[in-house]
Structure 1
């Protein structure tokens, strides 16, 4: 698990438009404010990439970014170290990655059938990611301490109406 898993391959409908290739990467402070800023900037990037504010797709993707960022702040915090958000598109797929610098604490893969009641005060974020993303997982960093949580989602790009 030391390399990025490949993006999922799904059959494309012939009328489904593809996203142009985009990439966004930025570091944020490992604070609630940093997680909030990561969500907001991800929302702006998605809108600029043609996934408009207020669409179900936009809301789902920003929620996944918010949960991964909050997870990095809450469980991956190393004082004085930032977390990194990366977004990239390929074809009809968006990949979201959040890297923190805490290498000894790894997330547990959760099943969508897990009850929310089993997670007490927290721990529901990855259940949301499981429910909303096509796939998600994590891998340890190879260039230093830490880990990267990733999620991929197929994206339906809205088509502008013809004049």
Structure 2
């Protein structure tokens, strides 16, 4: 007869949310709204520090995708991931992928700060300030994915007992 052992604790699920959106200003706005809604479903309601930081990052990355990464007729993709399936389990990862292979920001280079009268150019300054890490990777067939990660403080992760559903 085998000795009885306590059941192993199941790891927290990896939560992933992915959407294709039109490469238009309206698509960028929808990315921000969908991210806020999904983060609330995961346990970070509007006003929570994680939600505020993540929504700001989504807004900047999506705006850059539709402004600088737009290819006519091609959409951009938003992906949010959190959980033990990531390289760093206590991390929220935001990815925005576009179809434009050129104009790649370099996270290793200092982000140039625009002058006080400049009308644009602050997006990556904000990303660099808000994200714990960020970078760019090539997509398999065309384009690039700009990603940003937020390190989650102890207790900031979504509830472990929440059952993942579709896109949750």
TM-score (norm 2): 0.76
Whether 2:104 is the aligned partner of 1:111: answer no
Deviation per CA, 1:2-30: give whole Å up to 9, x if none: xxxxxxxxxxxxxxxx9742001110000
Structure 1 position 33, deviation (Å)? 0.3
Deviation per CA, 1:51-74: give whole Å up to 9, x if none: 111112211110001100000000
Structure 1 position 116, deviation (Å)? 3.5
In structure 2, the CA distance between the partners of 1:44 and 1:82, relative to structure 1 (3 Å rule), is same
Residue of structure 2 equivalent to 1:96? 94
**1:117 alignment partner, SS class:** coil
Structure 1 position 49, deviation (Å)? 0.4
The answer for unaligned runs of 5 or more in structure 2 is 1-10, 84-88, 160-168
Structure 1 position 118, deviation (Å)? 7.8
Q: Any conservation in 1 of the 2:113–2:121 contact (CA below 8 Å)?
A: no
Structure whose CA Rg is larger: 2
Whether 2:50 is the aligned partner of 1:57: answer yes
RMSD: 2.3
Q: Any conservation in 1 of the 2:94–2:147 contact (CA below 8 Å)?
A: yes
Whether 2:33 is the aligned partner of 1:40: answer yes
**2:14 alignment partner, SS class:** strand
User: Which of 135, 142, 147 is residue 144 of structure 2 equivalent to?
Assistant: 147
Q: Any conservation in 2 of the 1:111–1:130 contact (CA below 8 Å)?
A: no
Query: For 1:76 and 1:159, how far apart are their aligned partners in 2?
Result: 32
| Ranges of 4+ aligned residues in structure 1 off by more than 4 Å | none
Q: Any conservation in 1 of the 2:44–2:158 contact (CA below 8 Å)?
A: no
Aligned length: 141
Whether 2:83 is the aligned partner of 1:83: answer no
Residue of structure 2 equivalent to 1:21? 14
Deviation per CA, 1:36-87: give whole Å up to 9, x if none: 0000000011010011111122111100011000000000000110000001
Relative to its length, the structure with more strand (as a share) is 1
